[in-house]
Amino acid sequence: MVEYVFSDKTGTLTQNIMEFRKFTAGMKNFGTNEKPTVKQESNVNFHDPNFHQVLNGSGKDSKDLDHCMTFLSLCHTIVVDKNTNAYNAASPDELALVNFAKQMNYEFKDIDKDDNMIVDIPKKGLQKYKLLHVCEFTSSRKRMSVIVKDLNDGGKIKLFCKGADSIIKARLSKTSIISPEMAATQ
C-alpha cells in the first residue's frame, strides 16, 4: 500500500528554462522561428531582422518599441553581482526578459546608493529612474510592478507592471485593448 506520494509539480517538464523568442510592442509583433544568427545572452533565443530597423526608425512603432524595451530594463528585481556584473534573478523568466533588453542594448546597470535604477539606453545614454516601490509578484496577484520617478523626463511618476495575460488584460481600458484604428471609429 502507498501511504505518501511526493512530487515536483514545477520544473519537472520545463526544467525551469525560459527562452525569450517573441513579443509584441504596440501593434507590431517581433521574433521569428528562425535560428538566431548572432550570439545570444543566456535565456534568449531571438531572431528578427526587422527589430533594429523599427527601433532606429521614427514614428509610433519606433516609440512603442523603445517604451517596451525601457520597460523590460526596469520592471524587475534583478540584483547585479558586483564582482562579475552578472544578473541574479528570482526566476528564469525575469532573467530572460532583462537579458533580452540587455542584448538589444537596453542594459540595466545597477541600483545606486540613492535607489536610482541606472539603465543604458540607445541614443540616450545612462538614464536614472528613482525606484519608489516594488510590488512583488505573488500567486494571488499574478503580476509584479515597479513605481519609478523618471529623473530624465521631468520627474514623472511611472508604473510598470508585468504579469499573467488574464490579470493584465482585465485592468486595461477599452481603447487600449482594441487597435488604434478601431478606437478612432468608435
Under 8 Å CB-to-CB from 133, ≥6 apart: which residues?
Answer: 146, 147
* Cell numbers placing 50: 526587422
Residues 102 and 77: their CA atoms lie apart, in Å, by: 15
Burial of 55 (0-12, 13-18, 19+ CB in 10 A): buried
3-class SS of residue 33: coil
| pLDDT value for 175 | 74
Which grid coordinates are listed for 76?
Answer: 524587475
pTM of structure? 0.84
Query: Given its phi and psi angles, is residue 105 left (phi above 0), alpha (psi -120 to 50 degrees) or beta?
Result: left
- From 8, 81, 114, 165, the catalytic residue: 8
Q: pLDDT per position in the chain (186 positions), as tens?
A: 666 666 555 555 556 678 899 999 988 999 998 999 999 999 999 999 999 999 999 999 999 999 999 999 999 999 999 899 999 998 888 999 999 999 999 999 999 999 999 999 999 999 999 999 999 988 888 899 999 999 999 999 999 999 888 888 888 887 766 554 444 433
Active-site residue, 8 included: yes
